[in-house]
A and B are shown apart, each in its own frame.
Chain A
């Protein structure tokens, strides 16, 4: 049961392993706070759609299941969009059109089709949480690299006296600006994916060596 939760975080990480939901991942990863906001939105929509799809799986006719899922997903996206505009207007402006674009994020439809319509409620909830957290962690990793190198800051939520921006000495006065631009997003993504591949290939080699020696 716990496996449904943990698989999304590393083994089937939506961003780095199955490569879904890349458009928002790269577009909003200029600041850490954007990644947190986007991650929260995706977790909410994923959770809502997985719960509803799993509950309604016996009632939705097979032939029109995709449109039905899309309506469910779009309803939750509208909720996120309106709530964000009302309570976090600055974040909503930063994310721009990408909040509404959660509706076409392949992860959500993918989980509804590949998991929630075959599994019961509790498994679907765990799957949604795992995938959502995996997506958020992937997004955080990309945005942390891009913001630290590209602007020399880490922007978090402002709490009390702390204005939410951590400045990194050295990098703040002379950041590698290109990393903050579109180019940087694609390069960082390419190098991270290569790193993941390298780990995987090394693990396979180790297993291969052990297998042959025993």
Chain B
């Protein structure tokens, strides 16, 4: 796959939230207002690009040569957890304003299925190092796109009348469902038309 194809695939066609349901918890939980959605989105982009690159290195340079690929699940989750801690510490020391903006979202990301998901999917698709990195970045951008649209819709929804049982989470799910319907327009045919 060319890099452009990978980007289009992970941002639009296989959008992690709206077609794969990866990262649904923060998507519903942190999409109440636009500011926190943007913060979460950028934190996810950052961690996903780093995580897919790191797990690629761990899998191909350590696990495969040693013949212990079955330890994939354990090593990946530990690598991701460590990475998130590490990123948090570095940001805290080097850039306090960035830490202030992203800080509270970083610990939440460890148990975000999207990060673990991109690491596992990149291995399954047998991407090389740079392809893994691009895929992680693109999947993160897809997450940001979806959560940003969702947060804007939910801010509007707050001032509208919603039937009482639907208030809060249920209407968020129905909104996400309609967004997924719109995203169905992006399919493999689109990729063919764009790239040929």
Interface residues of A (CB under 8 A from B): 19-20, 22-24, 26-27, 66-67, 70-71, 74-75, 77-78, 81-82, 97, 100-101, 103-106, 109, 178, 181-187, 189-191, 193-195, 197-198, 201
B142-196: which residues lie under 8 A (CB-CB) from chain A? 163-167, 169-174, 176-178, 180-181, 183-184
Q: Closest B-chain residue to A110, C-beta based?
A: B111
Q: When the two chains form their complex, are residues B169 and A193 in contact, meaning their CB atoms are under 8 A apart?
A: yes
List the count of A-B residue pairs having beta carbons below 8 Å apart.
123
Closest 10 CB pairs of A and B: A190-B173, A186-B177, A187-B177, A198-B165, A194-B170, A190-B174, A74-B74, A197-B165, A27-B21, A193-B170
Contact A97 to B184, CB < 8 A, known contacts A71-B74, A77-B73, A201-B164: no
Residue B128 is within 8 A (CB to CB) of chain A in the complex: no
Q: Are A194 and B165 in contact (CB under 8 A)?
A: yes
Q: Which of B28, B81, B120 lies in contact with A19, CB distance below 8 A? A: B28
Interfacial chain B residues near A106, Cβ < 8 Å: 25, 111
Taking CB atoms, residues of chain B closer than 8 Å to A67 are: 78, 81
Residue of A nearest to B74 (CB): A74
Hey, what's the 0/1 contact readout for B55-82 against A, CB within 8 Å counting as 1?
0000000000000001111100110010
The chain B residue sitting closest to A96, CB to CB, is B124
Contact at B181–A178, with CB atoms within 8 Å? yes
Q: Quote the shortest CB–CB distance from B95 to chain A (angstroms).
A: 26
- Number of B interface residues at 8 Å Cβ cutoff, please give it: 44
Residues of A within 8 A of B103 (CB): none
Give the most central of A78, A82, A109, A190: most B CB within 10 Å: A190
Closest to A73 in B: B77
A27 to B169, CA, bound (A): 18
Q: Determine whether the beta carbon of A103 is less than 8 Å from that of B21.
A: no
Contact residues in A for B34 (Cβ distance below 8 Å): none
With a CB–CB cut-off of 8 A, which chain B residues contact A27? 20-22
Residue of A nearest to B166 (CB): A194
On whether the beta carbons of B120 and A182 are closer than 8 Å, the reply is no
Contact B170 A104 (CB under 8 A): no
